[in-house]
Amino acid sequence: MKNIIIFASGSGSNAENIAQYFNNSSTIKVKAVFTNNKDAGVIKRMEKFNIPCVVFNRDEYKNETVFLKQINEFAPDLIVLAGFLWLIPAYLVNNFPKQIINIHPALLPKFGGKGMYGMHVHEAVKRANETETGITIHYVNQNFDEGEIIFKANVALTNIETPETIAHKIHSLEMDNFPKIIEMLLLK
């Protein structure tokens, strides 16, 4: 059995989609969700799957000994960032090389980096009058959105798009592709 831990900071729609996708799998299991937000919607979403949620603060996150112990209790084969907003510390990247992945709501390297998440990305895409956008799934390194790219999917944009319509298109790409790429990485 391959084990996944999901890191999420917000509502958890991607985390829920991943949990649903693997809910009856005989080869891959979502073992836990780690969140840095005690009020995150992801906590409620995980209840129906009986997936434990570990809530942590910045001090715990910075404490390599404590945080690694918490993670290792779930023996992860892959750590999946699904709307997690903090930079991953060097000790995690070093302890889990090519085992931490992220999904970004744009075609990297465009519209990546610190502060580029959620609607901030879609607003920037609209301001730049892009004719296409998409998602990028990549390995995580010690910088925001700069790890090796695993997968991209794109979608065309018209001149009448709004940040909200762009967000909807991106959400569809995320839901369709993220669990499949996770599965591919774990079963290759």
What is the rounded distance in angstroms from the CA atom of residue 154 to the CA atom of residue 135? 6
Give me the residues paired with residue 38 across strands. Answer: none
**Residue 138 to residue 101: CA distance in whole angstroms:** 6
**Of 104, 120, 122, 171, which residue is the catalytic one?**
104
Pull the structure tokens for residue 176.
């369709």
155 neighbors 132 (Cβ within 8 angstroms):
yes
Q: What residues contact 165, with CB distance under 8 A and at least 6 apart?
A: none
Token pair belonging to 36: 């840095």
Residue 33 pairs in a beta bridge with 6, 53
Residue 104: active-site member: yes
Report the catalytic residues: 104
